[in-house]
Amino acid sequence: MRRFIYFPINIDDMEEKSLLLQLTGDMPLFRIIDFLLDNKGLDFSKSDIVKGSGISRASLFHYWEELEKRGIVRVTRRFGKTKLFTLNSKSIITKRLLDLERALIADSLENEAKKKVALVEA
Protein backbone atom coordinates (compact mmCIF):
# COMPACT_ATOMS: atom_id res chain seq x y z
CA MET A 1 0.00 0.00 0.00
CA ARG A 2 1.41 3.37 -1.01
CA ARG A 3 1.20 6.33 1.29
CA PHE A 4 1.15 9.86 0.05
CA ILE A 5 2.32 12.69 2.21
CA TYR A 6 0.79 16.05 1.47
CA PHE A 7 3.08 19.04 1.63
CA PRO A 8 1.39 22.37 0.99
CA ILE A 9 3.31 24.16 -1.72
CA ASN A 10 3.58 27.89 -1.96
CA ILE A 11 3.96 28.87 -5.62
CA ASP A 12 6.25 31.75 -4.63
CA ASP A 13 8.65 29.29 -2.99
CA MET A 14 8.86 27.27 -6.21
CA GLU A 15 10.22 30.22 -8.12
CA GLU A 16 13.89 30.66 -7.36
CA LYS A 17 14.66 34.15 -6.14
CA SER A 18 17.28 36.18 -7.92
CA LEU A 19 20.63 36.69 -6.26
CA LEU A 20 19.72 40.31 -5.53
CA LEU A 21 16.46 39.33 -3.81
CA GLN A 22 18.25 36.61 -1.86
CA LEU A 23 20.59 39.29 -0.51
CA THR A 24 18.19 42.20 0.01
CA GLY A 25 14.95 40.42 0.79
CA ASP A 26 11.73 40.22 -1.13
CA MET A 27 10.54 43.80 -0.63
CA PRO A 28 8.54 45.53 -3.40
CA LEU A 29 11.27 48.15 -3.94
CA PHE A 30 13.88 45.47 -4.57
CA ARG A 31 11.48 43.51 -6.77
CA ILE A 32 11.07 46.62 -8.98
CA ILE A 33 14.83 47.15 -9.16
CA ASP A 34 15.44 43.43 -9.77
CA PHE A 35 12.93 43.41 -12.65
CA LEU A 36 14.54 46.44 -14.25
CA LEU A 37 18.05 45.00 -13.80
CA ASP A 38 16.98 41.71 -15.39
CA ASN A 39 15.53 43.63 -18.32
CA LYS A 40 18.08 46.41 -18.69
CA GLY A 41 17.96 48.10 -22.05
CA LEU A 42 14.22 47.49 -22.44
CA ASP A 43 11.47 49.96 -21.65
CA PHE A 44 8.19 49.31 -19.85
CA SER A 45 4.99 51.00 -18.82
CA LYS A 46 4.24 51.12 -15.11
CA SER A 47 1.63 48.38 -15.68
CA ASP A 48 4.30 46.19 -17.27
CA ILE A 49 6.60 46.78 -14.29
CA VAL A 50 3.80 45.84 -11.87
CA LYS A 51 3.17 42.57 -13.74
CA GLY A 52 6.83 41.77 -14.31
CA SER A 53 7.90 42.39 -10.73
CA GLY A 54 4.86 40.71 -9.22
CA ILE A 55 3.88 43.59 -6.95
CA SER A 56 0.70 45.62 -6.52
CA ARG A 57 0.10 48.95 -8.22
CA ALA A 58 -0.06 50.59 -4.81
CA SER A 59 3.43 49.28 -4.01
CA LEU A 60 4.79 50.58 -7.30
CA PHE A 61 3.36 54.04 -6.71
CA HIS A 62 4.63 54.02 -3.13
CA TYR A 63 8.25 53.69 -4.33
CA TRP A 64 8.10 55.22 -7.82
CA GLU A 65 8.66 58.85 -6.86
CA GLU A 66 11.86 57.91 -5.02
CA LEU A 67 13.14 55.88 -8.00
CA GLU A 68 12.58 58.89 -10.28
CA LYS A 69 13.99 61.40 -7.79
CA ARG A 70 17.18 59.36 -7.39
CA GLY A 71 17.51 58.98 -11.17
CA ILE A 72 17.31 55.18 -11.12
CA VAL A 73 14.61 55.17 -13.82
CA ARG A 74 14.04 57.47 -16.75
CA VAL A 75 11.38 58.02 -19.40
CA THR A 76 12.32 56.59 -22.79
CA ARG A 77 9.19 57.18 -24.87
CA ARG A 78 5.71 58.64 -24.66
CA PHE A 79 2.60 57.93 -26.61
CA GLY A 80 -0.51 59.72 -25.54
CA LYS A 81 -0.69 59.58 -21.78
CA THR A 82 1.47 56.47 -21.64
CA LYS A 83 5.12 56.76 -20.65
CA LEU A 84 7.67 54.00 -20.99
CA PHE A 85 10.52 53.73 -18.50
CA THR A 86 13.87 52.02 -18.33
CA LEU A 87 16.76 51.71 -15.93
CA ASN A 88 18.85 54.87 -16.15
CA SER A 89 22.29 53.52 -17.06
CA LYS A 90 23.89 56.95 -16.54
CA SER A 91 22.91 57.12 -12.87
CA ILE A 92 25.72 56.43 -10.38
CA ILE A 93 23.24 54.50 -8.22
CA THR A 94 22.25 52.31 -11.17
CA LYS A 95 25.91 51.71 -11.98
CA ARG A 96 26.50 50.54 -8.41
CA LEU A 97 23.43 48.29 -8.58
CA LEU A 98 24.83 46.75 -11.77
CA ASP A 99 28.20 46.31 -10.04
CA LEU A 100 26.43 44.57 -7.16
CA GLU A 101 24.60 42.30 -9.58
CA ARG A 102 27.88 41.37 -11.31
CA ALA A 103 29.58 40.72 -7.95
CA LEU A 104 26.71 38.48 -6.82
CA ILE A 105 26.88 36.51 -10.07
CA ALA A 106 30.67 36.13 -9.83
CA ASP A 107 30.38 34.99 -6.20
CA SER A 108 27.66 32.49 -7.08
CA LEU A 109 29.70 31.06 -9.96
CA GLU A 110 32.76 30.78 -7.73
CA ASN A 111 30.76 28.94 -5.05
CA GLU A 112 29.34 26.53 -7.65
CA ALA A 113 32.84 25.83 -8.97
CA LYS A 114 34.06 25.11 -5.41
CA LYS A 115 31.16 22.69 -4.90
CA LYS A 116 32.04 20.82 -8.11
CA VAL A 117 35.71 20.58 -7.09
CA ALA A 118 34.68 19.28 -3.66
CA LEU A 119 32.48 16.62 -5.29
CA VAL A 120 35.28 15.50 -7.61
CA GLU A 121 37.76 15.30 -4.73
CA ALA A 122 35.34 13.32 -2.54
DSSP secondary structure letters along 34-72: HHHHHTTT--B-HHHHHHHHT--HHHHHHHHHHHHHTTS
Q: Which residue segment(s) compose the domain that 62 sits in? A: 23-121
Q: Residue 14: its pLDDT value, please?
A: 39
Does residue 54 lie in a domain region? yes
Q: Residue 68: its pLDDT value, please?
A: 96
Q: Residue 119: its pLDDT value, please?
A: 74
| Total-model pTM | 0.78
As for how many domains the chain has, the answer is 1
Contacts of 11 (CB under 8 A, 6+ apart): none
- Whichever domain contains 99, its CATH number is 1.10.10.10
Mean pLDDT of the chain: 87
Q: Residue 107: its pLDDT value, please?
A: 93
Q: Residue 63: its pLDDT value, please?
A: 97
Does residue 45 lie in a domain region? yes
Does residue 17 lie in a domain region? no
Does residue 11 lie in a domain region? no
Tell me which residues of the chain have a pLDDT lower than 50: 1-14
Does residue 63 lie in a domain region? yes
Q: Residue 122: its pLDDT value, please?
A: 66
